[in-house]
Amino acid sequence: MSAPPRKPKLCLATSAKVGAEADLLNVVEQALRGGLDAVRLTDVALDREAYCRLARKIRELCAKYDAKLVIHNRVECAAEVAPDGIELTMVDNPAANEASVQAARAAVSKDCLVGMSCPLSVAVQRLPTSIDFVGVGPLFPDSDRLPASAAFLTLQQLGEFVKASKVRRVAAFGELNRRNISQVLSSGVEVVVVSREILASGDPQGATRGLKRFLEEVSRGKSKL
């Protein structure tokens, strides 16, 4: 008997660009209180000390609310902060990608997942087979003024990518919101990565709680909007 499908997870992609550190930490904690599953701290123009300090504080918040922290690209900080995962940026060089994955594994704890963000234009066969997860996107233009149909690449391509991928955990990122999340989940992705849907809501806790409820409804087939 096949295992039941996993419940979709909600991840917030954020960075120091959101504003002052205290403001960012407040937004993150409010979202975690709303049931957020993970935080992805993107690669930002902070020096090593400042980035590691911020990552460490978010790590403490995630631990408090039983959520996960994923650091983007900053292997040196991942080695110090011990996040749950590190996501590397894929380049158009398979050998270099594999080397970066192995270098990251050598630097981080054995429990830290190592993944890679991959544009849909890259053939799935070029993904390193040794990664634990892959982030795919961006799927939608970064503007609320454009219709959901104006995807960078089609949702069909996303579905084909997920089906062909040998990587078990697939996350989708882009301008994801209630208008397109159900379509994204139908492709088979496991993690939905959002940003402005929470950050610009004015109520991070309420927005997160609503998104979590929406994901549950979609996964049970009760909502298609």
Q: 85: domain range? A: 9-218
On the question of pLDDT at 225 being above 50, the answer is no
Does 3 map to a domain? no
Does 35 map to a domain? yes
Give the pLDDT of residue 211. Answer: 96
Does 4 map to a domain? no
Does 62 map to a domain? yes
CATH assignment at residue 71: 3.20.20.70
pLDDT band at 16 (very low <50, low <70, confident <90, very high): low
Does 2 map to a domain? no
Give the pLDDT of residue 46. Answer: 83
On the question of pLDDT at 121 being above 70, the answer is no
Position of tokens 């159900």? 182
Domains in the chain, number:
1
The more confident residue out of 162 and 66 is: 66
Give the pLDDT of residue 138. Answer: 81
Q: Which of 155, 159, 153, 123 is nearest to 141 (CA)?
A: 153
Most confident of 98-107, 114-123, 137-146: 98-107
Does 192 map to a domain? yes
Q: H/E element holding 100?
A: helix 94-107
The more confident residue out of 146 and 221 is: 221
Does 204 map to a domain? yes
The more confident residue out of 161 and 133 is: 133
Give the pLDDT of residue 4. Answer: 45
Q: Which of 70, 182, 80 is nearest to 135 (CA)?
A: 70
> Rounded CA gap, 104 and 109, in Å?
9
Instruction: Using a pLDDT cut of 90, give the percent of the chain over it.
Output: 51
Position of tokens 């504003």? 19
Does 224 map to a domain? no
